[in-house]
Structure 1
Amino acid sequence: MTPTPFAQRLTERSLTLGTRLCLGLDPRLDAYESRDALRQHTLAVLDGCAPYAACVKPQFAFYEALGLWGMQLLEDLCAAARSLDLPIILDGKRGDIGSTAAAYAQAWLMGDHAGDALTVNPFLGAETLTPFVEAAQANGGAVFVLVKTSNPGQADFQGEGVSERVAQVVARLGQDEVERSGSELSSVGAVVGATHPQELAQWRAAMPHALLLLPGLGAQGAKAADLAAAFLPDGTGAVVSASRGIQYAHALDVDAAGAAAKSFRDELNAALKL
C-alpha cells in the first residue's frame, strides 16, 4: 500500500486539530535527577502536548549524548508518537556524499526506527540531497533542507546569496515533484529560522511548494505574531518549533508543558487570524 505523503499527513493534522506547532523534545540529562526521570518526563510531555501539536521534532544530539540508552529512548519516543498519529521530524542535520548519504537516508528515513522526515545539510553540494529525497519520496516521508538557520552566526556562511542558491535547489526539486504528483506541497521542505521574521515572505515566495520548518519560537526569541508570512493563505505550509519553552516549563511540570504548548498554538493561530 502506498504510504500517505508526509506533507498531506501534516496538513490534515494541522487543519483537523487547528495547530501549527512543532513540539521539540530535547531531553537534557542535567535537568533531571536520573535517567528514569528524564525518560518518564519526556514521554509524559509528548503525551500531554500531542493534542496541541502538528508534529514532534526530537533533536538527535540530546539522545546521542545519552549513548545507547538514549538511542533506545529515541526509538521508544518515535513509537509513542506513531501511536498518537503524530508525524515525526528527526532533527539530525545529516549530509554527506555518495554511499554515506545513502546510509544516513536508510538509517533515518526507512525502517521501523526511522522518522517520517529528517533535517538535512546541503552544504556538501546539491547532489548530496538526492539519496535523502529519493528515500523520503519512496517511503512517504520528507526532508527539510537547511536554508536559513535560526542562530545569529548563520550569516558567516549562509549570507552573500548562499541561502538563496539553496532555496533555488529546494524550489526546483519541489516543482519537479508537484508536476508529477499534482500535489500542492512537495516532500522537499526547508528550515528557515523563525528568528528572521523580516525574511519570511521572501522565503515563502522563493519556495512556493515547500513545507517550512521554523525553529526558534520561545527560548530563542522568535514571536508567533511575526510569523504569518511563512504560511500559505489557508494557514498551512509551515510549522513552528518550540522546545525548551515547553519541555522545561515551570520546573518540569507536565501540566505546565501542556499549557505552554496550548499557548504557543493559540498565539500562532491568532497571528494567522484563525
Structure 2
Amino acid sequence: MTFAQAVTDRTRTHQTRLCVGLDPRLDAYRDAEHLRSHTLEVLEATAPFAACVKPQLAFYEALGLDGLRILEEVCAAARTLGVPVLLDAKRGDIGSTAQAYAQGWLTGRHAGAALTVNPFLGFETLTPFVEAARANGGAVFVLVKTSNPGQGDLQGGGISERVADEVTRLNAQEDGEYGSVGAVVGATHPGDLAAFRVRMPRALLLLPGLGAQGATAAQLAPAFAAGGTGALASASRGVQYAQGLSVPASVAAARSFRDELNSALN
C-alpha cells in the first residue's frame, strides 16, 4: 500500500484528517532521554486520532546522533502502530545531492514514507525525490504556498500556481485516487484552498498551521475532496505541548482537532 493509499484508508476507517506533528524541543526536557520518552508517549497516545504523524527533522538533527537514533525509534514505533510517517525536512538540491537526500530520507530505518521537498531550485530537482518515492511506495509533498507570513516574498505573483501545475503534471503520470506527489498549502491561507484543490485534484494537500499558528478547522473544508479525503491538517505544538508535557492534554487536543475537522466537513 502506498503512502497516499494508507493515509486515505486511515482517513476513512478512523475518520480522521489530522496530521500529528512531533517537534520535540530540548529546552522543554531534563535531557535527551526525557525528550525521547515523552515524544514516544505522545505518539502512542495520540495515534488513534492521527491519519499520519509528521516529525520535523530539524528538532532531531539539533540533537546530533542521539536525535537520529530517537527519530529511528519514532519512525519504527509509528510503523508498529500502523500510522504513516511524513518527515518534514523541506529538502531540495541539484543532481547527485538531491539523489543522496532522497536516498537518506525516503529509504532506510530513519526515513519516513513521505518527505516535504523544496522546488525553488527548479522543477528538475524534484525528479530524484519523486523517483525514490514511487520506487518505495512513498510520497513527496512539494512546497506550494507555505504557512509563514513571509511566504509572499517568493511565492506570490503566480509562482505558487506554477508549482501547483507541476504537481498536477507529475501526478498525471500515475494511476490511483491520489498520486505520490502531494502539496504543502498553508492552513493560514483559507481563501486559497478551494482554488488549489481544483488545480491539484489528485494531490494530497498538507495543511500546516492548525492550532498554534492560528488556523482553525472550520476554515479548511474547501481543501478536501468529495467524501472528505485528499487533505491532512497538521498540528504540532498544539498537540505535543498542548499543556506543558501533559500526555492526557495532548490526547485531548488531538481528539478535539479530529472532531473539529470532521464537523467542518459535515
TM range (shorter): over 0.9
- Structure 1 residue 93, shift from structure 2 partner: 0.2
Q: 1:84 aligns with which of 81, 84, 93?
A: 81
Corresponding residue for 2:182? 189
Q: Which residue is 1:132 aligned to?
A: 129
2:156 and 2:39 map into 1 onto residues whose CA distance is: 36
CA distance in 2, matches of 1:251, 1:84: 24
Matched, 1:115 2:108: no
CA distance in 2, matches of 1:214, 1:149: 9
- Check if 1:55 corresponds to 2:48: no
Question: Residue 21 of structure 1 is aligned with which of 18, 23, 28?
Answer: 18
Matched-pair contact (CA < 8 Å) for 2:68–2:110: no
| Residue 239 of structure 2: aligned partner | 246
The aligned counterpart of 1:155 is 152
Deviation sequence 1:61-113 (CA, Å, 0-9, x none): 10011111011100110000000010000000000001110111000111232
Partner of 1:256: 249
Give me the whole-angstrom Cα distance separating, in 2, the residues matched to 1:265 and 1:27.
21
Identity within the alignment, %: 70
* Structure 2: runs of 5 or more not aligned: none
How many residues align? The count is: 266
Q: Per the alignment, in what secondary structure is the counterpart of residue 191 of structure 1?
A: strand
Report the equivalent of 1:228.
221
Distance 2:226 2:244 in 1: 38
Residue type at the aligned position of 1:272: L
Per mean C-alpha deviation after superposition, the further-off stretch among 232-241 and 31-40 is 31-40
Give secondary structure in 2 for the equivalent of 1:176. coil
For 1:65-84, list aligned pairs within 5 A. Answer: 65-84=62-81
Structure 1 moving runs of 4+ over 3 Å: none
Matched letter for residue 47 of structure 1: E
Cα distance in 2 between the residues matched to 1:130 and 1:161: 22
Structure 1 gaps of 5+ residues are none
- Residue 46 of structure 2 aligns to a residue whose secondary structure is helix
CA distance in 2, matches of 1:114, 1:156: 31
Output the aligned Cα RMSD: 0.7
Partner of 1:172: 169
Report Cα offsets for 1:172-205 as digits up to 9, x if no partner. Answer: 001121xxx2x12100000000000000001001
1:111-134 deviations in Å (ceiling 9; x for gaps) = 232210000000000000000001
Q: Distance in 2 between matches of 1:5 and 1:97?
A: 26
Q: Deviations over 1:5-56 (max 9, x none)?
A: 1111110011111000000000001111222211111000000000000000
Q: TM-score, normalised by structure 2?
A: 0.99
Q: Which residue of 2 aligns with 1:141?
A: 138
Q: Which amino acid aligns with 2:262?
A: N
**CA distance in structure 1 between the aligned counterparts of 2:108 and 2:30, rounded to whole angstroms:** 33
- 2:125 aligned partner, one-letter code: T
